[in-house]
Amino acid sequence: MADSLLNAIFEVVDFVFDLSATIDRTKQLSKPDIVEVPPDPKPLPPAAQRALAEAEERERQHDHAASGTDQAS
């Protein structure tokens, strides 16, 4: 008799824990996802823009020269 009463109590407690976990998961699913968006980047000063353009041009010339030597081989 005592064993069946203890089993019933444990089953009720287990059910309450399962119910609590389900409610907690439901609350978490109902929260909107918050995404942090970085601020807009600051525009580059003119000197930095020129330096970047020069570096890109050198890289294009280097890539073009490298592809020309690969084709000649």
Q: What is the pLDDT of residue 70?
A: 52
pLDDT class of 73 with cuts at 50, 70, 90? very low
Give the CA distances from residue 2 to residues 6, 7, 12, 39, 61, in Å, rounded to whole numbers and listed in that order: 6, 9, 15, 65, 88
Q: What is the pLDDT of residues 6-20, one digit of tens each?
A: 999 999 999 999 999
Note whether 52 and 44 are within 8 A (CB): yes
Helical ranges in 1-73 per DSSP H: 2-30, 46-72
The amino acid present at 49, given as its one-letter code, is Q
Please tell me the distance from the alpha carbon of residue 18 to that of residue 21, in angstroms, as a whole number.
Answer: 5
The mean pLDDT value for 54-62 works out to 94
For the record, the structure tokens of 17 come out as 């824990």
